[in-house]
Structures are given as structure tokens and as C-alpha cells.
Structure 1
Amino acid sequence: MKKTILLIILILFGAVTLFMSSSVLFDWFGIRAKEGNFVPLVVWANWLCGILYLITAYAILKNQSWAKLPLIISLVILVIAYIGLFIHINNGELYETKTIGAMAFRMIVTALFLFTTIKILKK
């Protein structure tokens, strides 16, 4: 049951992340204009993480022992992007204030995915 719920959440979160970040990066559906002052490094990091969430879902579905690896990589990418965001801010570049909270939220969610994946793989 927990495995199914995790799979559904990972697939949904990964798909939405991939869609939204690629929409900003490639200016699909006018979403870029609605996002305001986005930070490209953060959007690219989110795009990569969206792919990694979907890879994790596949690995969990196939009961692969390496399923936690894409989530570890995602956390590293997000931490690097978070540091990059603060460098961007300190250089006086434009950004949206909501990005700081959104990145913190994404790191927490990814850590929860990782923790849950580890627990599920041990069973």
C-alpha cells in the first residue's frame, strides 16, 4: 500500500515538475511570462529532478535496489541550486521571493521521498 502511494506521488510530482519547469525553460503556453523573474539555474535543477523522480518511480516499481540513488542525486542538485540561488541574490540579480521557500519545500519533499524509499526497499 505504501509503495503504491509513493509511486503515485512520485509520478505526479515528477510529471508536474517536468511540465512546469520545461514550460518555463522553453516558453510553452505563455507560462514563462507568468513566472516573473525566474532563476534559470533553479528551473534547470527542478527539470532534472523531475526526470529523476520519474526514474525513481520506475526503479521502485521494478523493486530495484538502486531506487534511492536518483533521489540522492536530486538532493545534491537541489542543494547546489539553492546555494546558487543565494549567490544569484547576493549579486543583486532579479528573483521571486517565493523561490526561496519553494526550493526549501522541494528539498524537504525530496528528503521525505528518499527516507520513504529507503524504508520501502528494506521490506
Structure 2
Amino acid sequence: MKKLEERIVYYSKQLLLYNDECLNRFMNGMKKEDVLFFEQVKPEFEAITEVARKWKEEAVNWVKEKKPKYIHELQIDSTIQNIEQIILQSFYKDTNKQRFTNLHHSVQYVLDSIISETEKSNKVNF
């Protein structure tokens, strides 16, 4: 099994990709079409939240083990909630653009911080 640091970086990079996919969907107007919840939203939500669940488990273990200075368990919980909101809001036309971009940046910041901190502490690029 991979080391904890490798797993946390792997899941963080996957979530960064999903985060950007949601931003692209939001910005490119897919959300303006009629969205079928069970055919479009639910499968996307379930796929991403499955990765997010694995990421959270690894991230919490990593925070407990490594005790990084600027990353805390509360941020992990908030990031999970933000990811869930981003997925859902990326599909709907009545989403506030400022709120959406703030959530996107928040998720990106935490994920980038974890990747950076992990690579710095191991002096290895994954």
C-alpha cells in the first residue's frame, strides 16, 4: 500500500481536477440548460464525493500524524462541505457567481496547501 503522503497527494490532485471541471461547467453555461437530477447531477455528485470521502479519511490521518502548522481538521471538514456545494451549484443557473468562485478558490487553496506541505515535508514531488 502507498504511503500516507502519496495517497493524500493522489486524492488531492484528483479533487483539484474535479474542482476545475465544476468551475468549467459553471463558467461555460452547462448550468443554463435544463438539468436532469438523476441522470446528470446525482452520478457526478456520487463519483466526486466518493473520492472526497477517501481524501478526507487520508487527510484527517495525515493531519493527526504530521501535525502541519497551517492545516487543521476543521479545514478538512469545511473543504468537504465546499466540494459538495460546488458540485451541486455548478449545474444550476441561479447560483451566485461570487459565492461559487469563493468556494472554488477555498477548495483549491486547501488542496494546494496540502500538496505543497506534503511535498515540502518529504522533499519529493509526487
Shorter chain as denominator, the TM-score bin is: 0.3 to 0.5
TM-score normalised over the length of structure 1: 0.42
* TM-score for both structures, normalised by structure 2: 0.41
